[in-house]
Structure 1
Amino acid sequence: MHVPATLVRGGTSKCWLFDQRDVPTTLDGLEALLVNAYGAADPVQLDGVGGATPTTSKAAVIRPCAEPGIDIEYLFGQVGIGVEKVEWGSNCGNCATAIALWAVTRGFATITGDLTAVTMRNVNTGAVLAASVDTTGGVAHEFGTQTVPGTRSGGVAVGLSFLDPVGGTTGSRTPSGAAAEELEIGGVQVRVTMIDAGAPMVLVDAAAVGRTGAEPVAVLREQVDWLRSVRRAAAARMGLDTLGDAVPKVGFVGEPVSYQSSTGEAVAAADYDISVRMLSMNAPHPAIGLTSAVGIAAANLLDGSVVHARSTASAAPVLRIGTPAGVVVVTCAGLGEYGPRRVTVRRAARILCDAEIHVPESAVPMPA
């Protein structure tokens, strides 16, 4: 079978996007399609279209939404690398950036002058996101000059806002009931904040365990197994599945220090407010997932959290996050007792190709 798909870069991720009309309607059939199309069983995904990294082995299936005020819905899948499965339990902000541009080019949203609004709902989590896509001159653009930390390549500017992001999965900003607490990991007490904003996550106070939160990716890679044990312990405390790899997300946070970004730029401690190093599907994230950025910005507003304690801009609506790729700026608005109502990040996207992916029909179960 030949399946139409579009490869789009959104921020620091690449995501294959599928029209709902072109793929199986059952989740089992869709998962089988993606596993085979990506070559998921192979750790290098050689016999497939997957990128063999957590930031490039992503997929989304998109359909129009009949609900007033929402243009499209999308189901996000994190396709396995070396394992024949797809994680369906999370959202991806970088892919949402890609989806917003794709929606404009495909006519799912009507172009309205120099900026076009696209409102999206993530089927996995119920999260609603509002995007503002650059359509200068009243046209959809193939190329642009907007850059983001993690790549020197430009793209079409997209502003992405997460609407009412707090408690989307667990129903609470602090699922364990505390702004910060101690988790026992291997007989050691580890101070963490468990927060649900953008996505459920557990943030480790880096200094409390002899880290800075600004370690190079190669050093963070040595901490993956330990961070996974933190993630499992936090999942149990948050009432989440301890077997999946997508959520809760996990990483270190620390005070700003000077470092060199992955693209070679010098980043001074004064250039940002909080150091962050996160995992994505059990591997160091080369920058930061946008759902993680939302959670960190929300935690920065939470008195007593490990982010609030280490940030040089604690309680401020604008937070500059130091990531391995550089500084990501996140803006919170509509601040209330339970956290921000809107969290916005500036991103960029570019459509890379339209393709037909060849998948054996026998590999994809179809509904009777």
Structure 2
Amino acid sequence: MTQTGIPFIFMRGGTSRGPYFNRADLPEDLETLAQVLISVTGSGHVLNIDGIGGGAAVTTKVAMLSPSDDDWADVDYFFAQVSVEDRLVDFKPTCGNILSGVGPAAIEMGLVRPSGDETEVKIRAVNTGAKVLARVQTPGGVLTYDGDAEIAGVPGSAAPIALNFMGVVGSSTGAFLPTGNLRDTIDGIELTCMDVAMPIAIARASDFGLTGHESVAELDANRDFFARMEAVRIKAGELMGMGDVTKSVTPKFGLLAPARDGGTIATRYFMPWNTHPSMAVTGAQCLASCALTPGTVADGLLDRPSESPANVVLEHASGTIEVLVDFDLNNSFSLNSAGLLRTARKLVDGKVYVPAHIWEGR
């Protein structure tokens, strides 16, 4: 055999998509695993022409599932972000949109048995240690993808998947404010560096001469902005204790502006070398937390809710995303949990093939 076949399920999770694997069907060591995932997605070509990636960062994501040895969790979710063109794999972050498909995929793989009309799947995000309770629709004990739930950035409707995130503060850096400050200034740009589900350097759009309401195409075409933003992001990564982040997708970058379509606050999110077409689930939690925290760069951009739980509506490039934030606000902001509604859909199952010289299989 010149190729190795690996069982997989190809799913849309939230506003991302990619292959979902049983971790037991992949190589154990990360170096070989990275080469397998590069081959699977076709990283190294702008169109991912020799793999199943879609030529965008939101379509070169990978989920790997396994039974959890955690007393609380049912399933471990190990995430990998594969670059489109650079043949790089980042195992540091997690992805909340891809996580949207973990509950259904776990049922499809037989890792979780459906129970009743709604099945709770307890998920441990291996990359960050976060715990997520997913409620998956299983009417009559049968998994369904059909439903009336709609999310911005995805056409049509599907069955709702309710996600409740816990233990996400300091998920990557160990601290809510990794620099120890509510605000830092880098290259003349005022930032809030925050780590809730995803470490993000957050700035006001106006400080970059932007409105914060630009389209994805407008932002991606503004390479002067990206060059300036990347220089700030790299320095922010150092201040956040993350070392040299030149080749890492974290910390991400976010911009805030006053809402104009009835939301709580306007946002733009970067992955970080391109503009996100909508909003990351993890990024939404961090940006919502920043919006709710007095003293951050969000000050003056919104009418800040003071009662918990608060429904924070983030306007993004494709519409809105709502984050239900349970928090305490005594001497400082303290996050208890964050809830979001997502959808997912199974697209393909079968085997994906990689050259045997990369991996001969188990």
Long gaps (5+) in structure 2: none
Match of residue 299 from structure 1: 290
Answer yes or no: is the 8 Å Cα contact 2:26–2:361 preserved in 1.
no
Long gaps (5+) in structure 1: 258-267
Deviations along 1:10-65, whole A, 9 cap, x unmatched? Answer: 11000210001211111111111111121111121101111110100110111001
How do residues 77-88 of structure 1 correspond to structure 2 at under 5 angstroms? 77-88=80-91
Deviations along 1:51-107, whole A, 9 cap, x unmatched? Answer: 110100110111001222201112111112111221111000001001111112333
- % same residue: 27
Q: Give the AA of the match of 1:85.
A: L
Match of residue 169 from structure 2: 166
Q: Give the AA of the match of 2:28.
A: T
- Shift in CA distance, 353/365, structure 1 to aligned 2, threshold 3 Å: closer
CA shift for structure 1 position 236:
1.2
Is 1:321 the counterpart of 2:323? The answer is: no
Comparing 335-344 with 237-246, which one deviates more in the overlay? 335-344
CA shift for structure 1 position 325:
0.7
CA shift for structure 1 position 315:
4.2
Answer yes or no: is the 8 Å Cα contact 1:93–1:291 preserved in 2.
yes
Q: Give the AA of the match of 2:354.
A: V
Comparing 139-148 with 67-76, which one deviates more in the overlay? 139-148
Per the normalisation by structure 1, the TM-score is 0.91
Answer yes or no: is the 8 Å Cα contact 2:145–2:344 preserved in 1.
no
Match of residue 138 from structure 2: 135
Q: Give the AA of the match of 1:203.
A: I
Match of residue 264 from structure 1: none
Match of 1:346 among 329, 333, 341: 341
Match of residue 216 from structure 2: 217
Q: Give the AA of the match of 1:289.
A: A
Q: Give the AA of the match of 2:24.
A: R
Match of residue 230 from structure 1: 232
Q: How many residues were matched structurally?
A: 351
- Shift in CA distance, 22/320, structure 1 to aligned 2, threshold 3 Å: same
- Shift in CA distance, 358/365, structure 1 to aligned 2, threshold 3 Å: closer
Q: Give the AA of the match of 1:105.
A: E
Match of residue 261 from structure 1: none
Per the normalisation by structure 2, the TM-score is 0.92
Match of residue 253 from structure 1: 256
Answer yes or no: is the 8 Å Cα contact 1:313–1:319 preserved in 2.
no
Partners of 1:300 and 1:60 in 2: CA distance: 30
Q: Secondary structure, in 3 states, of the residue corresponding to 2:114? A: coil
Match of residue 73 from structure 1: 76
Q: Secondary structure, in 3 states, of the residue corresponding to 1:5? A: strand
Deviations along 1:262-295, whole A, 9 cap, x unmatched? Answer: xxxxxx3xx2011101111411000011111010
CA shift for structure 1 position 334:
4.5
Answer yes or no: is the 8 Å Cα contact 1:301–1:339 preserved in 2.
no
Match of residue 192 from structure 1: 191
Is 1:357 the counterpart of 2:352? The answer is: yes
Partners of 1:360 and 1:17 in 2: CA distance: 19
The two structures, once aligned, show a CA RMSD in angstroms of 1.7
Answer yes or no: is the 8 Å Cα contact 2:160–2:342 preserved in 1.
yes
Q: Secondary structure, in 3 states, of the residue corresponding to 1:55? A: helix
Q: Secondary structure, in 3 states, of the residue corresponding to 1:83? A: coil
Comparing 120-129 with 319-328, which one deviates more in the overlay? 120-129
CA shift for structure 1 position 308:
4.0
Match of residue 17 from structure 2: 14
Deviations along 1:228-285, whole A, 9 cap, x unmatched? Answer: 122111111111132233111102111112xxxxxxxxxx3xx201110111141100
Is 1:276 the counterpart of 2:271? The answer is: no
Partners of 2:119 and 2:344 in 1: CA distance: 14
Answer yes or no: is the 8 Å Cα contact 2:8–2:352 preserved in 1.
yes
Deviations along 1:111-160, whole A, 9 cap, x unmatched? Answer: 23222111111111212111111223332114333210012222221011
Q: Secondary structure, in 3 states, of the residue corresponding to 1:232? A: helix
CA shift for structure 1 position 314:
4.4
Match of residue 152 from structure 1: 155
Q: Give the AA of the match of 1:358.
A: Y
Partners of 1:148 and 1:116 in 2: CA distance: 21
